[in-house]
Structure 1
Amino acid sequence: MTVRAYVSHVASNRFRLRIPDKRGLDDYFQALGQVLAARAEVSAVEVNPRTASVLLCHDGSLDLATLARQAREQGWFELDLAAPQHPSLDVLVSQQLRQFDDSLRRWSNARLNNPSLIFVFFTIFLFRELAKGHVAPPALTLLWYLYELLNRPRS
């Protein structure tokens, strides 16, 4: 079985590898850390078996393609140079809101969407609060701002 690895973080003169299949295997990460630390262009190696990661600090001359080839040849791992992209929380929430909006439009034959649903909710809430003699705009204002923030156009 080929062990898959990917680059999760890149900065000048360092990068972090993730090897999820070997999570928790102290012996594997210690041995891999020693092999990588022996490379001339590597200045420091930090391994963390609990997070399945290897942080490599180098002098700037370390080539990922060469490292990937050598790791594959020596049987350590298969490095996927196209690292998976993990979207941020606001992107995930925004995607879910768009999917909900699309479903709502299909279900209502394009009569309802997220803003109209929020408008209906605010209107009902407004009359409910007015009937009680309460005025509570800060929470509603913040909710609306949050909605606007999550649905802003991406640049």
Structure 2
Amino acid sequence: MDVDSQPSMEETILVGDDLMLGPPSPHIPPDIAPHVLEGVNLCDGILRNLFLCLQINDIEPFCQDEIVLYRQCAERRDNQLRDRLRHSEHKLGLVMPLEQAKEREAQLLTETTSLERRMILASGIEGIEGFRLRWSLHGRLEDTRYISQDPY
């Protein structure tokens, strides 16, 4: 295989669907959202610039810098949110009475089972909408599994 035949990053044109390569942003329960979201850069300014670029230029190849900046910011944000979410769930489990902690664990396992079933149903949906649904469900399923199997 010739190394020169591989396109470099400068030759690669990213499109909007490239933003969906990793897992989607984590689903944050409303009861702990204020604590988890506090002080996190939500990338809304970068996203606004990306949409403005797309509106002005009408096609993605002219907005490569904005796509890359948003992708990097979103990855940092999502990693930070997942860490905070995991720590919040751990702290919540430590202060809860044992019965409530067991109920919470059962609730997370039920949600995991429900998401797995929805994934199976979504696997039959063709096209971009099916892809987006599977992508979203996969991210929520992985996050729920990760929380329910807290490594702490």
Which TM-score tier does this pair reach, normalised by the shorter chain?
under 0.3
Q: Which has the higher contact order (CA 8 A, sep 6+)?
A: 2
The TM-score normalised by the length of structure 1 is 0.26
Structure number having the greater helix percentage: 2
Q: TM-score, normalised by structure 2?
A: 0.26
Larger Rg: 1
